[in-house]
Chain A
Amino acid sequence: MELQVQLLMNTLQIGSVYVLFALGLTLIFGVMKIVNFAHGTFFTAAALIVSSVMIWGVGTMGLSIWLSYILAFFLALAVVCLIGFIVYIFGFQHFLKDLNGSFILSIGLLLLLNGTYLILYGGVPRSIPTVVPGVVTFLGASLTLQRLLLMIVAAVITLGLYILVHRTKLGLSLRAVAEDQEAAMLQGIPFRRVALYGFLIGATLAACAGALMATVTPVTTVIGDDFLVKAFIIIIIGGLGSVVGAIIGGLLIALIESFGGYYFDPSTATLAMFVLVIVLLIVRPQGILGHAEK
């Protein structure tokens, strides 16, 4: 029983970040109909900024760890938003609904940004001081307070996005554009502006995931790449463009990783994810909650 609880806790820990990251990717696809291979670089940028600002805040400025982290977190979101805005204005804006063009553009961006991070930060992995020390035990399962906080924040952000998408005017516009762009434009919805908002929200979600993960894992200049591969698997399973699908997909992948990693080994669990994608593409190509192409 204790073991199953521990594995479920592991699932939630891993899944919460996967969901957050994949939500951004699926939102961008849903609204803009592009596949953004540079999405992981937003995650990486945020993690790197958090690591450097924390070191500066705690080491040089003598700020408390908490204050440094909050400062680093919001600075990371702001910088990633700015990067996202520049990338959208000078790049993706010209390739809306263009899968081939956006594919080439995002691959180029991925190489450019990863190279830039390497020049700026060097290749040595960084780790930041523990923000919330301590371990909690729940039904025999152990969990660091830092991981618990990460899960709570990720859940709150996910809930916030769900409310934004389903309960606000902007969310309605995003859904309308995702459903049928031309019909949405006929109703007076400014497609390009909504696409920009969708892109920035997606980039911010990736930044949130990166800024949260920086507290629990070594930060490298390619940290976002591993998450990107998982995020693609997640949104294919959940259904491209589906918010609820990304949540289900994220938790399912985390479940496979946690239980598969325990009962077999991590490599077999990774293999199982790809097998699942292959099977799903054969029997239900649109994913669990995706809509079939008309």
Chain B
Amino acid sequence: MSMKKIIGITGGALLALFSAQTALADETLKVGLSAPMSGAAAAWGLGFEYAAKQAVEKVNSEGGIKAGGKTYMLELHAYDNKYNAAEGAKTAQTMLNRENIKFIVGSIGTAPVRATQALSERQGVLLFNTGWGKSIKGPDYPLTFTQMNTPFEILGPFFGYIKGQHPDLKTVAMITPNDATGQEVEPVAIETWNSLDVEVVSTDRYERGTTEFQSIATKIANSNPDAVDFGASPPADVGSIMKALDVLGWDGIKVVAPGTSAGTLSQMAGQAAEGTYLGASADFQGDSASEAQRTLNEGAVKEVGESLNAITISSYDAVMALKKAIETADSIDPKKVAETLPTIIFESSYGPAAFGGKDVYGSPQQILIPVMITQVKDGKAVEVGRVAPEELKERLK
């Protein structure tokens, strides 16, 4: 074989190899995200987007997702749903019809999630979401998965812990936004409080976007409950109500089940936020946090100015679940991936996690991760209790 031939064959082989590698790396898988990035709940959306970006970068830097003999690099498309149904529908239209996205790795707010779901289920798109409504998942919505704990997972252990800490707690007043999230949380919360022999003395709803809370604070302070349950209210609203309650001299137990952003809460309410129990926050700086959570949290504080919490970190976990499910299914068909999700155990930011909850929802579409109970101390969320779901313990055996 002449030298010319050898060079020619070697060159051709190298070119073919290079072309093949380029072709493999060129496959892009778009993933969507819909969350409030402006308004009272903006702290959630911005942290949510940050965590999703980190997960996408991690997946891509580790070689992407492999399925069907191809390698896919993720590309994140994030949109502001302003925490309402109209914007949720708009962002869904953009993701599904303009960007042709087949996997939504995070959506915040029951109302915008429902609006998104109306399209995603019909168009065969997999939807991860943080919606707190029970009716959002189940056999009728096979492509919808919840990526964080909801009232059905949180309220039992959360309220139980508070009652344990305050045995004299007998009455609670409840205030929650008048939207899908608030309306679905309220009955579950009332039932849970009642099961603990705590009477719910009043329940009030307000419209999102409200800026004046004096009348409701007056009503609560006048009924003088042992505790106030702020329902599904976002941090800025909770801060305003707490401030108004403080002025009126009420100083009882403050309970925020979706309580997440201790920083925003303390910034808004100052000293009045101290001692507040948070059900969806997390102490990602504390001893119980994983290495991944610590790193993510440090980055979020630098970039977003707020610690991560159970809501915001859930987009990271959704991306990790998606990667494992696609690779296990060996397909990027959303239906096959959805069928695979309940069968896998994946590495979430909390450690090994899975999807379950068939007993509660009728099908296994709920992420199984620990419930963390935190309390605001010196303006920061400090973990005071942690409960792992029994179903996850069984799966990990």
Contacts and interface: CB of A to CB of B under 8 A. Distances in A.
B362 interface: no
Interface stretch (A60-68, A69-77, A261-269): A261-269
A interface bracket (residues with beta carbon within 8 Å of B): 35 or more
Q: Which 3 A-B pairs have the closest CB atoms?
A: A261-B215, A123-B42, A123-B38
A270 interface: yes
Contacts of B97: none
B317 interface: no
Interface string A26-63: 00000000000000000000000000000000000000
A173 interface: no
A144 B243 CA distance: 10
B205 A266 contact: yes
Given A265-B203, A270-B207, 19 more contacts: A10-B215, A123-B37, A124-B42, A124-B264, A124-B306, A125-B42, A125-B43, A127-B267, A142-B247, A218-B268, A222-B39, A223-B211, A225-B209, A226-B211, A257-B215, A262-B215, A262-B216, A266-B205, A266-B210
A222 B40 CA distance: 9
A217 interface: yes
Contacts of B209: 222, 225-226
Interface in A212-232: 213, 217-218, 220-223, 225-227
Contacts of B212: 13-14, 217, 257
18 contacts: A7-B215, A7-B218, A122-B46, A124-B264, A125-B39, A125-B264, A143-B247, A217-B211, A218-B240, A220-B39, A220-B236, A258-B215, A261-B219, A262-B219, A266-B204, A266-B205, A266-B210, A270-B207
Contacts of B38: 118, 123, 220-222
A258 B209 CA distance: 17
A212 to B, nearest CB: 12
Interface in B324-340: none
A218 B218 CA distance: 19
A270 B306 CA distance: 33
A135 interface: yes
B interface bracket (residues with beta carbon within 8 Å of A): 35 or more
Contacts of A286: none
B305 interface: yes
B248 interface: yes
B279 interface: no
Contacts of A3: 218, 222
Interface of B: 36-40, 42-43, 45-46, 80, 82, 178, 203-207, 209-216, 218-219, 222, 236, 239-240, 247-249, 264, 267-268, 270, 304-306
A93 interface: no
Main secondary structure of the interface of A (DSSP, over half): helix
B268 A127 contact: yes
Interface string A119-146: 0001111010010000100000011100
Contacts of A257: 212, 215
Nearest to B38: A123
A13 B248 CA distance: 14
B264 A13 contact: no
Q: Taking each of B36, B211, B218, B304, which has the highest tally of chain A beta carbons within 10 Å of its own beta carbon?
A: B211
Nearest to B47: A124
B325 to A, nearest CB: 31
A226 B212 CA distance: 10
B71 to A, nearest CB: 35
A154 B206 CA distance: 26
Contacts of B240: 217-218
B90 to A, nearest CB: 13
Nearest to A9: B214
A269 to B, nearest CB: 7
Interface of A: 3, 6-7, 10, 13-14, 118, 122-125, 127, 130, 135, 142-144, 213, 217-218, 220-223, 225-227, 257-262, 265-267, 269-270
A124 B46 contact: yes
Contacts of A122: 42, 46
A54 to B, nearest CB: 13
A95 to B, nearest CB: 27
Contacts of B203: 265
Contact of B247 (A144, A213, A227, A262): A144
B251 to A, nearest CB: 13
B305 A258 contact: no
B356 to A, nearest CB: 34
Nearest to B80: A123
Q: Taking each of A7, A226, A262, which has the highest tally of chain B beta carbons within 10 Å of its own beta carbon?
A: A262
Contacts of B206: 265-267
B80 to A, nearest CB: 7
Nearest to B36: A123
B42 A226 contact: no
A126 to B, nearest CB: 8
A6 B267 contact: no
A203 to B, nearest CB: 20
Nearest to B220: A262
A226 B205 contact: no
A265 B239 CA distance: 19
Contacts of A124: 42-43, 46, 264, 304-306
A261 B216 contact: yes
A142 B248 contact: yes
B219 to A, nearest CB: 5
A260 B207 CA distance: 14
A290 B176 CA distance: 38
A10 B218 contact: yes
B396 to A, nearest CB: 37
A10 B220 CA distance: 14
B253 to A, nearest CB: 21
A12 B285 CA distance: 44
A158 B284 CA distance: 50
B382 to A, nearest CB: 22
A262 B38 CA distance: 29
Contacts of A135: 247
A10 B219 CA distance: 12
A258 B215 CA distance: 5
B349 to A, nearest CB: 22
A120 to B, nearest CB: 12
A3 B43 CA distance: 35
A48 to B, nearest CB: 12
